[in-house]
Amino acid sequence: MSWIETDDGVGLYTKDWGEGRPVVLIHGWPLSADSWEHQARALVQAGYRVVSYDRRGFGRSDQPLGGYDYDTLADDLAAVMDALELDGAALVGFSMGGGEIARYMSRHGGKGVERVAFLSSVVPGLLQCEGNPDGATPQMIDKIKEGIVQDRPAFLQSFLKLFYGVGAFRSPVSQAVLDWNWGIALQASPLATTACVDAFGMTDFTPDIAQIGCPVLIMHGTADGPAPHTATGLRLSRMLPRARYVELPGAPHGILETHAAEVNAALLDFLGQR
């Protein structure tokens, strides 16, 4: 474990496990690097060096007042890449973490990156527009922020059920997993939790995608509530026709937990391709 300081003096809690070709795991909202437990274990056992860090404002990282826009978050990723001297790396982003990858590839020219993977990602953008009729409206984004401000613990409990596709007659994860994730989410700064909703909800990554020329893996569940696959994964696959697109029928947003075996197998196969 180590702390990496960003250009604006924010400390990022970073895990650096194993040896071999580096794989950088970038977590989703509102969790931390701990959400990669199943993937980190499998990748280390397969002989990879696995780097994961808590986004600023989340987990054990510092909680500054600002810096929750994607330009700054991509610069934070660059700080991790530079501090650990990572080269020939694979970047793997889940949900909001896909945005850091897209912006890093354009803003930092993909420095040190060999391939990228988008898992349940918000890329190319959640916001509803002419080319994205299934996206979220600004009113929906505002409602999420209102819920966080009014009763953050209750909102996060409800959100995590949607995250994992928990319903009246279906629970793909245990109550213990929901409780664990809730505890992680409550660790985050309330300010960061709210500000990041604007970042992942309102950002259009279409210009960034044009800068991605390396091999790409896209994985998305067809029952993803927070990031509908028709607005994100499927649309991204059409923008990157050479990418490998893996659709998980009936899978919710939280595939790192609910479909860990399928995600791990797809990642290892993708990373093993030369």
pLDDT tens digits, 187-204:
999 999 999 999 999 999
SS3 call for 11: strand
Catalytic residue among 52, 189, 224, 259: 224
Contact between 249 and 30 (Cβ < 8 Å): no
Stretch 157-180: mean pLDDT: 94
pLDDT at 176 over 80: yes
pLDDT of residue 68: 98
Measure the CA–CA gap between 98 and 80, rounded to whole angstroms. 16
Closest CA to 228 of 136, 140, 151, 141: 136
Catalytic residue among 35, 61, 95, 120: 95
Closest CA to 164 of 63, 98, 259: 259
Cα 231 to Cα 59, 124, 194, 195, 235, distances in angstroms? 28, 8, 22, 22, 6
pLDDT at 175 over 80: yes
Contact between 129 and 244 (Cβ < 8 Å): no
Measure the CA–CA gap between 150 and 158, rounded to whole angstroms. 13
Measure the CA–CA gap between 189 and 180, rounded to whole angstroms. 17
User: Percent of the chain scored above 90 by pLDDT?
Assistant: 96
Are β-strands 49-53 and 11-17 bridged in parallel, bridged antiparallel, or unpaired? antiparallel
User: Percent of the chain scored above 70 by pLDDT?
Assistant: 99
SS3 call for 216: strand
pLDDT at 168 over 80: no
Q: What average pLDDT does the chain have?
A: 97
Peptide bond before 172: cis, by omega within 30 degrees of 0? no
Measure the CA–CA gap between 246 and 262, rounded to whole angstroms. 10
- 38 is a catalytic site residue: no
- 95 is a catalytic site residue: yes
**pLDDT tier at 273 (50, 70, 90 boundaries)?**
confident
- 52 is a catalytic site residue: no
**pLDDT tier at 111 (50, 70, 90 boundaries)?**
very high
pLDDT of residue 16: 98
This prediction's pTM = 0.97
pLDDT at 169 over 90: no
pLDDT of residue 170: 84
**pLDDT tier at 2 (50, 70, 90 boundaries)?**
confident
User: Which pLDDT tens digit goes with each residue over 57-95?
Assistant: 999 999 999 999 999 999 999 999 999 999 999 999 999
